[in-house]
Amino acid sequence: MLKKLISLCFFGVLAFSNGPASASSAYREFRVGDWSVGAYRDNRTRQFSNCMATGQYRSGISLFVFVSRSLDWLLAFSHPDWRLSPGQKFPIQMNFDQRAPLHLQAEAISSNLVGVPMPATGPVVEAFRQSYVLRAFALGNRFEFNLTGTSRLLVEMVHCVRTELAIERGEPPPVLAQPAPARPPAQTPIPARRESSVSPHSTEMQLLATRIASNLLLQAQLPNARLLAPSEVPSEFREVAADGVAFVSDAGLGLVRLIRSSDGNSSQMVASNLIASDATACKGEFASARSTSLVDNDVVTRASVACRQSETGFSTNYYIVERRGFGFVVVGVLNADRDGAPGGARPGIGEAALQLAVSKAAATP
């Protein structure tokens, strides 16, 4: 698989640079911030092969982010003056911001192109998504790259692949909403648009929500976690938990809900509507934020809300994942406290691990 990926990347870079021996060509191009992105097809089969993003730097080095139709990832670097032996392998140290250095193996794809595998789950893609600066050390040289908009870039590239595959199958392309800026503290609640969640009386859907919640607790390994019977849900949360499956752990009270899809809907729109609903319910100061992450080649949208009224408050993190053929899985982690400050994952699990657990649990059959 790696050799095939490297080969596709080589021909993609050739196509980008108008190389004479290119076996692929870009047929759809767009921009994500400072990145140029293209969807490429195999010139022999005319079939979609990959999406590739390119960032060019004053040093003359180009940085490529490559994802195949099977969602395999590769990070590549190119400079016209490099003289390498194709197939040559050598160690490379990659420092992302102030994180611990990653020691990896690079391979010369051509005389002036170097590739580093970037598995969909692992430290490289996670660091690339979250960081602002990359410093690479290899063969006695040091290279530095500013990374801007990489979180959105990875999401857009997965969307690029899924769009092309949907068109190939004769299906409508998936919808990807534009990111919304963080909402400042609001004094006046905005009108809420309630989502059409699955009826709590639907036995089949309730069983599915229960299976997803059970799988989530297994995947996340939350400390002292268990599902709650409806009568066990704290009174202040019974209304919001009425149409889902609630659980509790040392991380706080949690909820799994299923939301049906509608025309033009997306996980970002679901997140915005959840924020609007909570803003209406809050009678004090309200703050919210929304972000989108690529987790194991799945798009996880996070909505964080906080409400502070009098001496008490609450904060909730929602994680939304699209479930094909149905709609959306929403996992909420709620916390009633005195500060009502939005935060990340609770004690016992990191934010990245929790998002991975939600992504895997959402695929529960």
Classify the C-alpha dihedral 99-293-104-51 as positive or negative: negative
| Same domain assignment for residues 98 and 246 | no
For residue 251, is pLDDT > 80?
Answer: no
Q: Give the domain CATH number at 115.
A: 2.60.40.1880
Q: Give the domain CATH number at 305.
A: 3.40.1000
pTM, whole model, 2 decimals?
Answer: 0.61
- What is the per-residue pLDDT across 268-301, written as a single tens digit (0 to 9) for each? 888 888 898 888 878 788 899 998 888 877 888 9
What is the domain range of residue 235? 179-362
DSSP strand pairing (89-96 vs 133-138): antiparallel
Residue 164 lies in a domain: no
| Same domain assignment for residues 85 and 227 | no
- Tally the domains of the chain: 2
CA torsion, ordered 190, 196, 200, 204, to nearest 10 deg: -150
The DSSP string of 177-226 is: PPPPPPEEEESSPPPP----BPPTT-HHHHHHHHHHHHHHHHHHT-TT-E
| Same domain assignment for residues 75 and 184 | no
Residue 10 lies in a domain: yes
Specify the pLDDT at position 94. Answer: 94
State in Å, rounded, how far the first CA of the chain is from the last one: 28
* DSSP letter assigned to residue 283: S
| Same domain assignment for residues 237 and 312 | yes
| Same domain assignment for residues 248 and 129 | no
Token pair recorded at residue 42 = 């195999």
Q: What share of the chain is helix, strand, coil (3-state, %, to 5)?
A: 25, 40, 35
- Least-confidence region, from 251-255, 283-287, 324-328: 324-328
Gap between the Cα atoms of 13 and 80, Å rounded: 12
| Same domain assignment for residues 185 and 134 | no
Interaxial angle between packed helices 123-130 and 150-168, expressed in degrees from 0 to 180 and rounded to the nearest 10: 110
Domain end marker among 120, 154, 188 = 154
